[in-house]
Amino acid sequence: MAFPSPTKTWHTATYPSIDPSLPALSSARKNIVISGGGSGMGPEIAKAFAQSGAASIALLGRTEATLLETKQQIEAKYPNTKVATYVADIISAPALEQALTTHEKAFGKLHVLLANAGYMASGRSIVESDAEDWWTGFEVNVKGNFNLVRAFLPHAVSDAVVLHTNTAAAHAPYFAGMSGYSASKMAGAKVFEYLHYEYPEMFVLNIQPGVIQTGMTAKAIEAGVDLPFDDGELSHYPYVFEAMLTSPVIANLPASFMVWAASKEAKFLNGRFVWANWDVDELKAASAEIEGGNRFTTGLLGWP
């Protein structure tokens, strides 16, 4: 499977223009919030923001051990970034409110939200799916992000940045067994699109992070979806599913891209849906065209 691209250059790993250490991408004096901060891409995103000089990072997740492991790794390498962990399931609005209230009291107003937590149901047809598992995708990907946004806004600066980790399944053609994931992530994309219009002073962006080797994408492989993974293949493993569950997540491209997206360089993309694989220099060269039209927005193809 190959994906189309609006840029001639297609990236599968980080590159100099989105290097988190660039002064133009600095997160100095900014307080960052990351849901799903203890697993998948979350830890790598947190490390990239620490590399860019973030003042503080709030890691939200369900498992204390993984959150604490990420905190220790970051503070050992980037001692100037303070990391706080909060055991909070995004389905629970009270847990989120308590976490973000606590973080603001400790570090001040919040500047960047990474809505990164997500859920993929087992890859089965609609009829064959377990109903509870299928609907859990909507609980996490829609209700959870609804809760997260509502908890974040009272504690955020007026021109805050909100980045939502989305997926190609939200707007691409049919993927076998992905009905629950595709539908819930498209619904989630629309939640953030509405946030963009309701808070025009903020920067809001849906991001397809690329195809990353995580336990979530392992479910897609198990369902028979052929995915062109970024940052190398796992084809040398005899049992790909098990390997993806145990191998370290390689997510330097989306992690660096998120830092770039939170910077002033990306402002022309406000309200859009973009892919981390696209070359940012080519996107910047087309900024006038992008801002002046409906490129990279969701809608009904061919209408009007």
Q: What is the pLDDT of residues 66-113, one digit of tens each?
A: 999 999 999 999 999 999 999 999 999 999 999 999 999 999 999 999
Structure confidence at residue 170 as a pLDDT band (50, 70, 90): confident
When pLDDT is cut at 50, 70 and 90, the band that residue 235 belongs to is very low
The DSSP letter of residue 249 is P
Checking if the pLDDT of 122 tops 80, the result is yes
Residue 246 has a pLDDT of: 45
Contact 35, 4 (CB under 8 A): no
Of 132 and 222, the structure prediction assigns the larger pLDDT to: 132
- The string of DSSP codes covering 102-116 is HHHHHH-SEEEEEE-
Cα radius of gyration rounded to whole Å, the chain: 18
For CA atoms 281, 286, 291, 297, the dihedral sign is negative
What single letter denotes the amino acid at residue 262?
A
Boundaries of every domain in the chain: 16-211+251-283
Distance between CA atoms of 78 and 199, rounded to whole angstroms? 33
C-alpha separations of 140 from 106, 116, 133, 155, 171 in Å: 27, 11, 11, 22, 19
pTM of the model: 0.90
Superfamily of 16-211+251-283 according to CATH = NAD(P)-binding Rossmann-like Domain (3.40.50.720)
Residue range 19-59, pLDDT digits in tens: 999 999 999 999 999 999 998 899 999 999 999 999 999 99
Q: What is the pLDDT of residues 246-301, one digit of tens each?
A: 445 567 999 999 999 999 999 999 999 999 999 999 999 999 999 988 999 988 87
Q: Which amino acid would we find at residue 49?
A: F
d(CA 301, CA 291): 19
Tokens 């993927």 map to which residue?
Answer: 175
What's residue 195's pLDDT?
98
Question: Are the CB atoms for 88 and 142 separated by under 8 Å?
Answer: no
